[in-house]
Amino acid sequence: MAREQSELPETHRTTTAEQGRFCLARCTCGWRGPSRRARSKARTDAEEHTARP
C-alpha cells in the first residue's frame, strides 16, 4: 500500500561531498548547496538548510 504524502517523514539528512578542490553540502530532499573551498562553510550551509522550517 502506498503512503500518503503527509505520512512520509520530512527529515533532512545532509552530507558533504568533495569535488576536486571544492566541497558542497547535499540533502536527501534534493537540495544542494553551493561549492565552497572551505569544508566548514559547506557544513554551515548544511546546518542552515536543516534549520529551515
b/e per residue 14-24 (b: at least 16 CB within 10 A): bebeeeeeebb
* CA–centroid distance for 35 within its chain: 12
- pTM metric for this prediction: 0.74
pLDDT of residue 11: 84
pLDDT of residue 7: 46
Report, as ranges of residue numbers, the positions in the chain whose pLDDT lies below 50: 1-8
pLDDT of residue 1: 43
Specify burial of residue 45 (Cβ count, 10 A radius: 0-12, 13-18, 19+): buried
